[in-house]
Structure 1
Amino acid sequence: MIEQIKAALYVRLSQEDRNKLHPEDNSESINNQIMLLKSRCEKEGWIIYDIYNDDDFSGSDRQRPEFNRMIEDARLHKFDVLLCKTQSRFCRDLELVEHYLNYMFPVWNIRFLSIIDNADTSNRQNRKARQINGLIDQWYLEDISENVKAVLSAKRKKGEWVGSQAPYGYAKSPEDKHKLIIDEPAAKIVRYIYRLYINGLGYASIVRRLNDEQIPPPAKYKNLKEVSSHKKTATRGLWCYYTIQKILSSQVYIGNTVQGKSEKLSYKGEERRYKPQSEWDIVENTHDAIVSYDTWHKAQIIRSTRSTPYKQDMKNTVFSRMCKCVYCGATLNKHTYHNSPMLECPTKHIKTGICPGCVITVKRLEEIVIDEIKDHCQRLMDVSAVKSKIDSNVEINNRRQEILKSIESAIKKQKLLKNRLTSLYMDKADGIISINDYYQFKNAIDADSVEIDTTIKLLESKLLSIDDEMKVFENNQTIVNQYSNIEKLTHNELMFLVDYIEVGGTRDNRIVRIHWKF
């Protein structure tokens, strides 16, 4: 029985392209893409394995959830064919196009097919066309990025609001989304915060009062108003120091628009460059003020004379933004007590009873982490010892050599078939064999050639798996050699070894959980 071909369908639409009746609905274009791809599957007699839908994601985004799930399923060969409407729906990043379409998919024995522009990895003559399409798609993204940046820059310089959401205390005008209007319920809280601060309360006292009075913080307030918020923090639903600091320092509340504080380094990623204040786009009197200039100015004078409690200042510690509270998940803040750097969970001070909190000196945590690194290296050495036994039996190396020999043998057979085909063509041209015999022999040779190509791809895939296996052991050995006798820890070394660290407990019953990268 012939095994039926399984097809995966990938559909995508950028946020700027979408045309939805309701936010929860798939866009009409997404549905049209699915219908087109299903129709092709019915025509070919393919069964649909799964539909991967990345709606509202750019083609240059490497963090698309469904795209990455699809790639993982392709690596495990859960389907045979991947269908897209166009190559650009799959990806607009030339580097990814080259990596997957022209290298990994053939290795995984996955056929990529786009309906409209006929990109087809089963057709070797199609490769240049795919590369040209990829280059054009990347140029398109670069042009779009530059055009969007120019338009947004012009709007910012005119004082038009270009943020995706309005600042807390304001809303976007229904008549003009680039103009801010006062949102009175939130504006009332902004004025309340300024009044408390000017009357002598500090950040910590204001935070506790707002939380005790169960006043929704900006993120929760926006969610209650059905305005989406993508921020995910450990203290979501509670006021925190940074929010108060931001409100008390922002010029937006005296009617000025301040934008362009940072810029993306590349349209391909999310990494940003924070610009000096001289490069910001500041336009005065663009909207109604929530607080008077005198009130705002008094707050700035007070801010300049007060220190910020539990300030997130991690410049002088190896644990910069790497430690979390084991109870609530909040990032630990650094502060100094009797000239001793401490790490402390800020949530305990935000609202009474919400988190037992944790406090630890940087010195003590460093001692614990260094001991844990040494223990971890010892465990890796145990694994490396097992690897050494395997190596002593030459098991992995023998398997690798056998595969290399098999690949070499298959390549030789492929060359012989090509020579035989050339000879066969000459026999046809000289009249030694008939045209019918030529095509009969040619079809047989082509079938053998396809079978050998498939064999080579499978062998190369096995070789990659073995190489990955060996790299894991080599990395472990490198870590053991470099860190087994470590005495002093740096931030870069910690970043290399650790994802994050959970801290909790007390001085006599300390909890430290290290989440390793290896």
Structure 2
Amino acid sequence: MLQIEEIPAKPKEQKTIRVAAYARVSSEKDAAFHSLEAQTEYYRNYVSAHSDWELVSIYSDNGISGTTIHRPEFQRMLQDCRDGKIDLVVTKSVTRFARNTVILLETIRELKRLGIDCYFEKEDMHSISPDGELLLTLLAMYAEEEARSASENQRWRIQKKFQNGEPWVGKMLGYRFKDGNLVVIPEEAAIVRQIFTDYLSGMGQHTIAKKLFLQGVRPDNGNAWSGSSIRRILTNEAYTGNLVLQKTFCPDFRTKRSQINRGERAIYHVSNSHEAIIDQESFDAVQTELQARATLRSSNSAKTIKPYHLFHGLIYCGYCGRSYGHHRTNAKKYDKSVWACPTLYAMGKDICPSQRIPEDILIEKTKEVLAVDELDRDTLLTKVQQIIVPAHNRLQYLLADGTVVDAEWRHRSRSESWTEEMREAARQKTIERQRKGRKNE
């Protein structure tokens, strides 16, 4: 006789879901109303309301646009996802996650390949659902268009201010913007006058920067003094009581990178708009001196345009933030290449305690990180976003896929670092010294 026995299905094992919360505020004004503490408290309560959820971390970027992927906390979250620490990402809305369609879809697809879901509270939508990507595409296009519209409105407001002869940014060393006017700050104005006087007395831009640092004077933007920051002051017409508006502009709302206005946009000249700190005669004298020194440097340098060195524009100092430059030590004898922070070279270790890195070691470490046998500039630009030098004998690679790799290095011993040409030169020097010694006996 036929008998059928039902075997009940095993109850599904409840698995703890590791949750990450991502928040982003795009301006300091937003940050005032939606503080990190409030967000942290909200997400802790939100996650604790789900018995099978466990909060991994709350990642929050403040004052950074959603149109860019270069957000430190966003990148940290993605790295933790790649490291298998996260099962679910929770965020307020699609626009908080990203306002760039390409960034949004590429990120969602990568997380989906890793088996990680994203939940957007406002839209009540999961990215891993069957129709999730289609909805996300539509919402991302809307968010990007919204960002474009906001950028156009901002550009219009700036343009109207320029047409009315009003500066867009009212804070600079020596001035503050009050009640629609640039007002002189006496103690800062004295520093500006000192900079102009020192330059006309023969001091260089880097020497002036070092002098200000040793005096304890800080730039108005909070960054370190440099030759370029001194030059910006020396060439700023605003110190004469006149304004030149829209000297730079931002061509792409996604990147938000400014470029020099070389005629692509209108430029506005405003005369006698505010109280001067530097008289016109002194300002003109400084411009003449700047040109004279530039001409002298040009006549002493090679006339041909040199190609970029291998790591040009990729290495950044962890102490002062400036981009490392390529240098040669004992070039006539050994042709040895090193990379160093320009602040260290120009003003010394008192200002920037960074470290020179031999290029051969840099190449060797980069090959190890990228797992390649040969290294060229195209490979670097394709695979590396930045190389940070956070401390002595340390390198931090931010790769194109968002991965962060730390590496350590050490100076080679003399026996390791000397080439055969260097050894031969040392031998000849020893022989010559011994020959002179025998002649004197």
TM range (shorter): 0.5 to 0.7
Say which of 115, 130, 137 aligns to 2:121.
115
User: Hey, what does 1:160 align to over in structure 2?
Assistant: 166
**1:160-203 alpha-carbon deviations (Å, 9 max, x no partner):** 2222x612111232x44xx3211111111211222333445554
Conserved? CA contact 1:15–1:57, under 8 Å: yes
For 1:129 and 1:275, how far apart are their aligned partners in 2? 39
User: Hey, what does 2:58 align to over in structure 1?
Assistant: 51
User: Hey, what does 2:18 align to over in structure 1?
Assistant: 6
Conserved? CA contact 1:348–1:354, under 8 Å: no
| Residues 353 and 494 of structure 1, relative CA distance in 2, 3 Å threshold | same
User: Hey, what does 1:292 align to over in structure 2?
Assistant: 279
For 1:120 and 1:74, how far apart are their aligned partners in 2? 17
| Residues 272 and 55 of structure 1, relative CA distance in 2, 3 Å threshold | closer
Could you list the runs of 5+ residues in structure 2 that have no partner in the other structure? 1-12, 394-410, 419-441
Say which of 225, 232, 251 aligns to 2:237.
251
If each structure's helix is expressed as a fraction of its own residues, which one has the higher value? 1
TM alignment of 1:197-276, pairs within 5 A: 197-203=199-205, 206-207=208-209, 209-210=211-212, 214-217=214-217, 220-222=218-220, 229=222, 231=223, 236=224, 239-276=225-262
TM alignment of 1:363-378, pairs within 5 A: none
For 1:80 and 1:96, how far apart are their aligned partners in 2? 20
| Residues 68 and 297 of structure 1, relative CA distance in 2, 3 Å threshold | same
TM alignment of 1:64-213, pairs within 5 A: 64-101=71-108, 103-163=109-169, 166-173=171-178, 175-176=179-180, 179-203=181-205, 206-207=208-209, 209-210=211-212
| Residues 71 and 183 of structure 1, relative CA distance in 2, 3 Å threshold | same
TM-score (norm 1): 0.58
Say which of 308, 312, 316 aligns to 2:306.
316
| Residues 350 and 17 of structure 1, relative CA distance in 2, 3 Å threshold | closer
For 1:38 and 1:326, how far apart are their aligned partners in 2? 37
Secondary structure of the corresponding residue to residue 230 of structure 2: helix
Decide which moves more: 250-259 or 189-198: 189-198
For 2:154 and 2:70, how far apart are their aligned partners in 1? 21
Matched, 1:60 2:67: yes
TM-score (norm 2): 0.66
For 1:132 and 1:60, how far apart are their aligned partners in 2? 16
Secondary structure of the corresponding residue to residue 18 of structure 1: helix
User: Hey, what does 2:292 align to over in structure 1?
Assistant: 305
Deviation at 1:137, TM superposition (A): 0.8
For 2:111 and 2:349, how far apart are their aligned partners in 1? 55
For 2:92 and 2:102, how far apart are their aligned partners in 1? 20
| Residues 291 and 109 of structure 1, relative CA distance in 2, 3 Å threshold | same
For 2:83 and 2:317, how far apart are their aligned partners in 1? 37
Secondary structure of the corresponding residue to residue 126 of structure 2: coil
Greater relative contact order structure (CA < 8 Å, 6+ sep) = 1
Secondary structure of the corresponding residue to residue 66 of structure 2: coil
Secondary structure of the corresponding residue to residue 276 of structure 1: coil
Could you list the runs of 5+ residues in structure 1 that have no partner in the other structure? 223-227, 360-364, 384-471, 484-490, 513-518
User: Hey, what does 2:35 align to over in structure 1?
Assistant: 27
For 2:227 and 2:191, how far apart are their aligned partners in 1? 15
User: Hey, what does 2:423 align to over in structure 1?
Assistant: none
Deviation at 1:495, TM superposition (A): 5.8
User: Hey, what does 1:434 align to over in structure 2?
Assistant: none
| Residues 125 and 205 of structure 1, relative CA distance in 2, 3 Å threshold | closer
Decide which moves more: 132-141 or 199-208: 199-208
Q: Which residue identity is paired with 1:245?
A: R
Q: Which residue identity is paired with 2:174?
A: G
| Residues 86 and 323 of structure 1, relative CA distance in 2, 3 Å threshold | closer
Secondary structure of the corresponding residue to residue 289 of structure 2: helix
Deviation at 1:93, TM superposition (A): 1.6
Deviation at 1:116, TM superposition (A): 2.2
Q: Which residue identity is paired with 2:235?
A: S
Give % identity: 21
Deviation at 1:126, TM superposition (A): 4.0
Conserved? CA contact 2:47–2:54, under 8 Å: no
User: Hey, what does 1:280 align to over in structure 2?
Assistant: 267
Q: Which residue identity is paired with 1:189?
A: I
For 1:282 and 1:509, how far apart are their aligned partners in 2? 63
Deviation at 1:509, TM superposition (A): 11
Deviation at 1:272, TM superposition (A): 3.6
Q: Which residue identity is paired with 1:73?
A: D
For 1:201 and 1:90, how far apart are their aligned partners in 2? 49
Conserved? CA contact 2:127–2:133, under 8 Å: yes
Structure (1 or 2) with the larger CA radius of gyration: 1
Conserved? CA contact 2:28–2:62, under 8 Å: no
TM alignment of 1:409-488, pairs within 5 A: 476=372, 479=374
Secondary structure of the corresponding residue to residue 306 of structure 1: helix
Deviation at 1:40, TM superposition (A): 6.2
Deviation at 1:82, TM superposition (A): 1.7
For 2:319 and 2:107, how far apart are their aligned partners in 1? 42
Deviation at 1:143, TM superposition (A): 0.8
Deviation at 1:14, TM superposition (A): 1.5
Deviation at 1:136, TM superposition (A): 0.9
Q: How many residues align?
A: 371
| Residues 110 and 352 of structure 1, relative CA distance in 2, 3 Å threshold | closer
RMSD: 4.8
Conserved? CA contact 1:170–1:183, under 8 Å: yes
Q: Which residue identity is paired with 1:166?
A: K
Conserved? CA contact 1:158–1:283, under 8 Å: no
| Residues 40 and 187 of structure 1, relative CA distance in 2, 3 Å threshold | same
Q: Which residue identity is paired with 1:18?
A: D
Conserved? CA contact 2:210–2:351, under 8 Å: no
Deviation at 1:265, TM superposition (A): 3.3
Deviation at 1:47, TM superposition (A): 2.5
Conserved? CA contact 1:7–1:46, under 8 Å: yes
